[in-house]
Amino acid sequence: MSQKNYQVSWDQFHRDARTLARRLMDLGPFRGMAAVTRGGLVPAAIVARELNLRLIDTFCVASYGADNDLAQTKILKRITAELAGEEGQGLLVIDDLVDTGTTARLIREQLPKAHIATLYAKPMGLPLVDTFVMEVAQETWIDFPWDLGLDFQAPLVPR
Ligand SMILES: O=P(O)(O)OC[C@H]1O[C@H](OP(=O)(O)OP(=O)(O)O)[C@H](O)[C@@H]1O
Ligand SMILES: O=c1[nH]c(=O)c2nc[nH]c2[nH]1
Ligand SMILES: [Mg+2]
């Protein structure tokens, strides 16, 4: 299967994060938020602003190796026991995307009652999140704005 790239601009990312916040508004209220590092930090700030959430912690996850293999995905830091509460009840967990579902599965194990939300979702991981904005094909690689830069584009007709 050939891999396609889907490039997301800052404008689109901001719009999609606001759409996510709008959807979450009817599903709360939430006691607080956990951002899944590092990709979840950016949408977490936007969603927290929209939903007026100020109690925010990080759930730090690092994946090693080419595929996000569960055995190679490590929790570097959990959220405080106080914020986790009773299995994450009333807690909003934000990440930029769910792909194979490895990261979301790890979080579900720790916080089974938390509401997990992502901007983008690929089919394999989709059942593991509660709310998302846009489905993207499994073979598509999403390029986030913080990984991109402005580049010269050659004109269609050469000079
Ligand atoms: O559903 P999965 O297959 O687990 O993939 C999704 C995860 O992969 C990316 O994070 P990554 O581990 O690449 O690190 P980063 O957030 O620090 O960039 C992304 O931000 C998600 O957290
Ligand atoms: O920047 C990224 N784009 C993706 O599509 C993806 N899937 C897992 N991890 C990812 N990181
Ligand atoms: Mg991540």
Distance of CA 28 to the CA centre of its chain: 18
Tell me the pLDDT tens digit for each residue of 25-60: 999 999 999 999 999 999 999 999 999 999 999 999
| CATH number belonging to the domain at 5-143, selected among 3.40.50.2020, 3.40.50.1820, 3.30.230.10, 3.40.228.10 | 3.40.50.2020
Q: Where are the alpha helices (DSSP H) in 38-156?
A: 41-51, 81-84, 102-110
Please report, in range form, the residues annotated as the binding site for 5-phospho-alpha-D-ribose 1-diphosphate: 38-39, 95-103
Q: What is the pLDDT of residues 115-153, one digit of tens each?
A: 999 999 999 999 999 999 999 999 999 999 999 999 999
Q: Where are the alpha helices (DSSP H) in the chain?
A: 10-25, 41-51, 81-84, 102-110
C-beta 100 within 6 A of ligand 1: yes
Q: What angle do CA 114, 77, 118 make, to 5 degrees?
A: 40
Whether this model's pTM surpasses 0.90: yes
ipTM value for the complex: 0.98
Spell out the domain ranges in the chain. 5-143
95 is catalytic: yes
pLDDT at residue number 71: 72
146 C-alpha to ligand 3 centroid (Å): 13
> Active site residue: 96, 130, 147, 151, which one?
96
Taking ligand 3, which is a single-atom ion, which protein residues have CB atoms under 5 Å away? 39
Tell how strand 4-7 and strand 73-77 pair up.
Answer: unpaired
- Reported as a pLDDT band with limits 50, 70 and 90, residue 99 is very high
